[in-house]
Amino acid sequence: MIRAVCGDDWDVLEQLWLKVVCDAHPSVPRSYWEGQSDYFRESCLQGKTAWVYQDSESREITGFVALGGDDQLATLFVAPWARDRGAGSALMAHAKQGRALLWVVVLEENLLARYFCQKHHFVEVDREACGETGQNRLLMEFRCE
């Protein structure tokens, strides 16, 4: 089930985000991501549009999506143990509702995110070097035709 984020969710979400982001970017030191935890919270709170995917039986939060105020898909992630069960696709569909455009920035190394976005009709429109991670940042867009 998808529901709006509530204040009690943030600690669980931050721990889940750290696990997912470290797994997705093995060449970036964990310490880098730990230093980004404040940025994670701030970027997810900016747009004030965020939802979790919560297992209807166990009540465990297994996914999260947040939108920025300027059509940005700020983040979308699903717990590794809950993947391939439709949570990510449900969150993406929820995020797309009523929007003609969404954009997201993905690090080049994050193949799971890139393929997931491509599966959901995002296309790469630009790339730039990211000195902090030593990788390219890919700008991907979804446009509803």
Domain that holds residue 114: 2-143
Residue range 35-40: average pLDDT?
80
Query: Percent of the chain scored above 90 by pLDDT?
Result: 37
CATH, residue 22: 3.40.630.30
- The CA-to-CA distance between both ends of the chain, in Å, stands at 28
Name residue 75's beta-bridge partners.
66
Residue range 88-103: average pLDDT?
94
Distance CA 145, CA 140 (A): 16
34, pLDDT greater than 90: no
What are the residue ranges of helices labelled H in 25-142?
A: 30-34, 37-46, 87-96, 111-119
Distance CA 100, CA 86 (A): 23
CB proximity list for 70: less than 8 A, separation 6 or greater: none
pLDDT band at 103; cut points 50, 70, 90: very high
Tally of domains within the chain: 1
